[in-house]
Chain A
């Protein structure tokens, strides 16, 4: 049960990570994250079924599509916002989300389907006493790899450093020669890529236009719980949430399983208003 909690947690972690990446650099709580991942996984499915592409090619095209979509949204919509404040950003991203959701369910229909995938989602393998679903293992491994890559990227690459600089003080960053506009665009691209990995890993089990809401909200909740700015924090919180949720569903009541996450969030936020690991944010009057 803990193991499947970890697997669920991986998809939350990826979504949470994607949201934190955007929030860190541009302070936009991106409600459209789930739908951005949704459209890339439907794109992959279209390539697989209608164009009969091979799965590696289709997936890499879907990843490229995700990056382009993220960059495009930042360039076409978010950059145009006048006097951005948090409420305005929330409304804009919800607007984007509704547009994509409507488009996807218009194009592909609202019925449930599954993605043709080389690994059967219900196939299991045994390690000692524990049995694991192969797909869960794949999810976990790819989530961990991606996190490691992201960590190295933010720590050691020039672009990652520039992102950090933009986040801390965008005016100063611009003065020393960082093109903050392009940095924002790249950020959206990367975040969209991370989200689409989560989308593609969920889609073999179930695929319908509302499939990303739950992971997105849980990922967002996990990210909020630790303060929206810490990447490792979001990952840890997402895994914790996945495990707690599964244990609660198994031992106490399966009916209230989806609720427990939000109850935890509200409780945590009441005591630590800016998240578990974050420094308290001080506002100027």
Chain B
């Protein structure tokens, strides 16, 4: 059944015709989605797709290569600002500006990857965290980047196509997301991907066996930063307006939370984590609008807490999810999925 008989069977994209069928069904559903959904839900889908890109990129770094990064908001910011500036100041078309900005982010990722050769654990955490904070500060203080006032995103035109609504942007975004996720999935199955996993499991042992640590560690940082840069560039056009206050440490923590909640070292996990946390994030921002719970919370807040801080309940919920996942299911949502599948396999026996 699940037995792999040779190498090519292990690395191929679809393991059975049923998977091909479901994949095509999923693609169809994704492309038909905006024709049926309201505008708000398309916006939500855009938001989730962007976070999926960043989460898979970060998962490559944290889950597969075993390096920690608390500075991905920095790369995200570079991507966002880079794309807008290339389009507005240098007159690049969108499809050229986006990868260029992401390449700049990848360059910074390469630079940040260099100290990672000698750092680990809390040392690397503080170095990447410092990087993220520095980028935001520098961008916020320089007039080229619009300073504190931020920048407006220009309209995107590809050939005769002008994209100025969420629905039109959705088609571009979902195509890019699918391509990037497929690329990532294939990358992990290649020699490069296996080198990353070897580094995660034991970097010294991997080095002894001929994995070039300098090359692969910086490559992991660069690819991860590239994904974050693409995500940032797209995010700028979902928001239509960017300012340095968006790219905070909290954002880096949220990216890390998506990867951890979804499950370290699994693509499915990052996707599930991104969907769950983004959805919760958007819902909990207006927690008082949720039926029943909202009324009860309003009552509770008026009597015991402060009504101004009620939206901060989302931090409590995210924090609790992170702690519980780490304590009881270190494999995250992916681990839950595997266990459920295993439980039902032999059902009803």
A interface residues, Cβ below 8 angstroms from B: 23, 29, 77, 80-83, 86-88, 90-92, 94-103, 105-111, 209, 213, 217, 220-221, 224, 228, 255-256, 258-259, 261-263, 265-266, 269-270, 273-275, 283, 285
In-complex Cβ contact of B306 among A98, A108, A228, A285 (8 A): A108
Q: Are B309 and A77 in contact (CB under 8 A)?
A: no
Q: Are A259 and B320 in contact (CB under 8 A)?
A: no
In-complex Cβ contact of B312 among A105, A255, A275 (8 A): A105
In-complex Cβ contact of A106 among B62, B125, B305, B320 (8 A): B305
Q: Are A92 and B122 in contact (CB under 8 A)?
A: no
Q: Are B115 and A256 in contact (CB under 8 A)?
A: no
Contacts of B321 in A (CB 8 A): 95
Residue B308 interfacial (CB < 8 Å) = yes
Q: Are B134 and A259 in contact (CB under 8 A)?
A: yes
Contacts of B115 in A (CB 8 A): 266, 269-270, 273
CA distance A256 to B330 in the complex (A): 39
Interface positions, chain B 156-173, Cβ under 8 Å from A, are: none
Q: Are B310 and A262 in contact (CB under 8 A)?
A: no
Number of chain B residues close to chain A: CB under 8 A: 54
- Distance in angstroms from A100 CB to nearest chain B CB is 8
Closest to A30 in B: B122
- Distance in angstroms from B336 CB to nearest chain A CB is 15
Contacts of A224 in B (CB 8 A): 122-123, 126
Residue B127 interfacial (CB < 8 Å) = yes
Q: Are B315 and A98 in contact (CB under 8 A)?
A: yes
Interface positions, chain B 108-135, Cβ under 8 Å from A, are: 114-115, 118-123, 125-127, 129-131, 133-134
In-complex Cβ contact of A262 among B118, B131, B315 (8 A): B131
Q: Are B323 and A95 in contact (CB under 8 A)?
A: yes
Contacts of B126 in A (CB 8 A): 217, 220-221, 224, 265, 269
Q: Are B316 and A99 in contact (CB under 8 A)?
A: yes
Contacts of A273 in B (CB 8 A): 115, 118-119, 123
Contacts of A94 in B (CB 8 A): 253, 256-257, 319, 322
CA distance A94 to B119 in the complex (A): 20
- Distance in angstroms from A98 CB to nearest chain B CB is 3
Q: Are A217 and B312 in contact (CB under 8 A)?
A: no
Residue B189 interfacial (CB < 8 Å) = no
List, sorted by A's number, 10 A–B pairs whose CB atoms are closer than 8 Å.
Answer: A91-B326, A92-B326, A95-B321, A99-B319, A106-B301, A106-B316, A107-B309, A217-B133, A256-B137, A256-B138
In-complex Cβ contact of B134 among A81, A213, A263 (8 A): A263
Q: Are B68 and A86 in contact (CB under 8 A)?
A: yes
In-complex Cβ contact of A266 among B127, B141, B260, B308 (8 A): B127
Contacts of B249 in A (CB 8 A): 213
CA distance A132 to B326 in the complex (A): 47
CA distance A80 to B325 in the complex (A): 12
Contacts of A110 in B (CB 8 A): 308-309, 312
Contacts of A266 in B (CB 8 A): 115, 127, 130-131
- Distance in angstroms from A190 CB to nearest chain B CB is 20
- Distance in angstroms from A108 CB to nearest chain B CB is 6
Q: Are B133 and A81 in contact (CB under 8 A)?
A: no
Residue B327 interfacial (CB < 8 Å) = yes
Q: Are B326 and A81 in contact (CB under 8 A)?
A: yes
Residue B178 interfacial (CB < 8 Å) = no
Closest to A31 in B: B125
Closest to B207 in A: A285
Residue B204 interfacial (CB < 8 Å) = yes
Query: Helix, strand, loop or mixed for chain A's interface?
Result: helix
B interface residues, Cβ below 8 angstroms from A: 62, 66, 68, 114-115, 118-123, 125-127, 129-131, 133-134, 137-138, 141, 202, 204-205, 208, 249, 253, 256-257, 260, 264, 301, 304-306, 308-310, 312-323, 326-327, 330
Q: Are A88 and B330 in contact (CB under 8 A)?
A: yes
In-complex Cβ contact of B256 among A23, A91, A259, A283 (8 A): A91
What 12 additional pairs, Cβ within 8 angstroms, besides A86-B68, A224-B123, A262-B134? A29-B121, A87-B62, A87-B264, A91-B326, A92-B327, A95-B326, A99-B316, A106-B316, A109-B308, A261-B130, A269-B119, A269-B123
Q: Are B327 and A81 in contact (CB under 8 A)?
A: yes
Closest to B304 in A: A107
Q: Are B327 and A90 in contact (CB under 8 A)?
A: no
In-complex Cβ contact of B318 among A80, A98, A256 (8 A): A98
Contacts of A102 in B (CB 8 A): 312-319
| Contacts A102-B315, A111-B308; A285 near B205 (Cβ below 8 A) | yes
Closest to B121 in A: A86
Closest to B63 in A: A87
CA distance A238 to B264 in the complex (A): 34
Q: Are A29 and B309 in contact (CB under 8 A)?
A: no
Q: Are A96 and B125 in contact (CB under 8 A)?
A: no
Q: Determine which residue in B131, B313, B316 has the highest number of CB atoms from chain A within 10 A of its CB, and name it.
A: B316
Q: Are A217 and B129 in contact (CB under 8 A)?
A: yes
Q: Are A95 and B121 in contact (CB under 8 A)?
A: no
Q: Are A99 and B323 in contact (CB under 8 A)?
A: yes
Q: Are B204 and A109 in contact (CB under 8 A)?
A: no
- Distance in angstroms from A67 CB to nearest chain B CB is 21
CA distance A262 to B133 in the complex (A): 8
Contacts of A88 in B (CB 8 A): 326, 330
| Contacts A81-B327, A92-B327; A98 near B118 (Cβ below 8 A) | no
Contacts of B305 in A (CB 8 A): 106-107
CA distance A274 to B327 in the complex (A): 29
CA distance A110 to B68 in the complex (A): 30
Contacts of B320 in A (CB 8 A): 95, 99
| Contacts A81-B326, A269-B127; A98 near B138 (Cβ below 8 A) | no
